[in-house]
Amino acid sequence: GRTYTWAYAAYPARVVFGHGTVGTVLDEVERLGRSRALLLAGPRVSEHADTVAAVLGSSAVARFDGVAEHTPVQVTEQALTVLREHDADCVVAVGGGSTTGLAKALAARTGLDQVILPTTYAGSEMTPVLGETENGVKTTRSSADVVPEAVVYDVDLTLDLPVHISVASGVNAMAHAVEALYAPQVSPLVQASALTALSRIAGALPRLVSDPGGTAARADMLTGAWLAGICLASADMALQHKLCHTLGGSFGLPHAETHAAVLPHVMAYNAPAVPDVMAQIAEALSAATPLIAWPAPAGDRHSSVIDDAPGFMFDLISAVGGPLSLRELGLAEHDVPKAAELATARPYPNPRTVTTPGLERLLHAAWRGTRP
Ligand code: NAD
């Protein structure tokens, strides 16, 4: 049984953050004692990958551009062939969670060091979790061996991340923070990280939407993503993550967007079990209060918002144009019962007991996209 008040695992990554930090990537490779990098470039980031290649110079011995979503094992094997042909001694990856996933999959097979330059807010670069897909089945495992040795956060690499991806990915990061706050082992460090992540991202999202290239909002987003990644690494995730894993793995729904459509409804489901956590979340989210036009009723809305974290999360996602329904993401309504059954097939910790009928109601609401 559980005998601790809280538990915390730290992973030995070196993290640098700033503007133009891509210029330090060769230093990071050399600091690890490496000199033959395989460069992994995610889709739609080839210009950023060219910059990384230029900084690495002759220390980049090969480049692999074939990154795919959900880390298919066949793609990993193709990259592994390139890695071996060129005798690479480390992996440098620039891209989102899919690209980081490939770097981790290579590290799991070779033990090579990884240097990651994230371009989304997924947070995978901070975690010991590796998800892989084989024959249409996505499985995850957790091992300290896949934690990247170095992470180079360069705000400049995120300035051109399209707004709709930025919003969904930002809410994906907030989902890590929300679930960490009600995790059984949540430590003071993870709690502080989660609340800061929520307020940074909530405060930045509306500014990002009105000025996508604004560096201050982008820096807040990436800071929030890093802190949310620590939450994901160091606290057990619950219903939100299990459900989105099922919807992505078995129904092909997009990862970050699904998190956005589901999060307000999972919060509403869990709220009765953890009212104090919801009050903390609402307070953190109120960083967005002066920045967005709340839907009616106007006037006294702010005071009621503090008692309504799930509704507040829904309104924030709505105000920044994020996905609000599983319907718009392509889930068929007749798949709701199957999804509820799959997501309750094995028990897992969650603040409120998860029942198949309860989950079906939650999924119907998320499918319609009604305000919880
Ligand atoms: P992603 O890496 O697939 O990127 C999303 C989209 O953004 C892609 O189309 C990509 O091409 C595009 N993109 C990225 N950077 C861009 C840029 N600068 N400019 C233009 N387009 C850009 O998705 P993601 O949401 O970052 O990551 C999702 C994947 O990561 C999922 O497979 C998920 O399971 C995994 N993940 C794993 C962990 C973990 O701890 N293991 C954590 C979070 C996510």
Pocket test for ligand 1, best of 44, 75, 218, 250 (most atoms within 8 A of CB): 44
Residue nearest to atom 10 of ligand 1 (CA): 43
Ligand 1 in contact with 169 (CB < 6 A)?
yes
DSSP string spanning 134-178? ETTEEEEEE-GGGS-SEEEEEGGGGTTS-HHHHHHHHHHHHHHHH
CB of 92 closer than 8 Å to CB of 40: yes
- Both structure tokens of 347: 């028990």
- Both structure tokens of 143: 């091992």
User: CA 278: distance to chain centroid?
Assistant: 20
User: How is the chain split into domains, by residue range?
Assistant: 14-158, 163-368
Q: Which residue type, as a one-letter code, is found at position 243?
A: L
Q: What pLDDT sits at residue 298?
A: 45
Report CA-CA distances (Å) from 130 to 23, 73, 256.
28, 12, 16
DSSP string spanning 3-54? --S--------EEEEESSGGGGHHHHHHHTT---EEEEE-TT-HHHHHHHHH
Q: How far apart are CA 59 and CA 126, in angstroms?
A: 24
Q: How far apart are CA 245 and CA 344, in angstroms?
A: 12
Ligand 1 in contact with 95 (CB < 6 A)?
yes
Place of tokens 């160091």: 234
Q: For the chain, how long is the longest CA-to-CA vector?
A: 66
Nearest Cα to Cα of residue 65 among 36, 38, 95, 42: 42
Q: What pLDDT sits at residue 295?
A: 59
b/e map of 270-285 (b: 16 or more CB within 10 Å)?
Answer: bbeebeebbebbbbbb
Report CA-CA distances (Å) from 267 to 137, 146, 263.
27, 30, 6
Nearest Cα to Cα of residue 262 among 279, 291, 238: 238
Ligand 1 in contact with 108 (CB < 6 A)?
no
Q: What pLDDT sits at residue 3?
A: 87
Ligand 1 in contact with 42 (CB < 6 A)?
yes
Q: What pLDDT sits at residue 300?
A: 52
- List the pLDDT tens digit at each of the 372 positions of the chain: 678 999 998 898 999 999 999 999 999 999 999 999 999 998 899 999 999 999 999 999 999 999 999 899 999 999 999 999 999 999 999 999 999 999 999 999 999 999 999 999 999 999 999 999 988 778 899 999 999 999 999 999 999 999 999 999 999 999 999 999 999 999 999 999 999 999 999 999 999 999 999 999 999 999 999 999 999 999 999 999 999 999 998 899 999 999 999 999 999 999 999 999 999 999 999 888 878 776 544 445 555 556 799 999 999 999 999 999 999 999 999 999 999 999 999 888 999 999 999 999 999 999 999 999
CB of 292 closer than 8 Å to CB of 322: no
Q: Which residue type, as a one-letter code, is found at position 21?
A: T
CA of 298 to the centre of ligand 1 (A): 37
Sign of the dihedral through C-alpha 95, 99, 104, 110: negative
Pocket test for ligand 1, best of 67, 124, 166, 230 (most atoms within 8 A of CB): 124
Asked if CATH classification 1.20.1090.10 holds for the domain at 163-368, the reply, yes or no, is yes
Q: What pLDDT sits at residue 297?
A: 46
Residue nearest to atom 38 of ligand 1 (CA): 124
Q: How far apart are CA 198 and CA 282, in angstroms?
A: 9
Question: Which atom of ligand 1 is least distant from the CA of 122?
Answer: 43
Pocket test for ligand 1, best of 67, 76, 98 (most atoms within 8 A of CB): 98
Q: How far apart are CA 65 and CA 332, in angstroms?
A: 33
The fold of the 14-158 domain, in CATH, is: Rossmann fold (3.40.50)
Place of tokens 């480049």: 63
Residue nearest to atom 4 of ligand 1 (CA): 96
- Cα 140–Cα 108–Cα 223 angle in degrees, nearest 5: 70
Question: Which atom of ligand 1 is least distant from the CA of 71?
Answer: 32
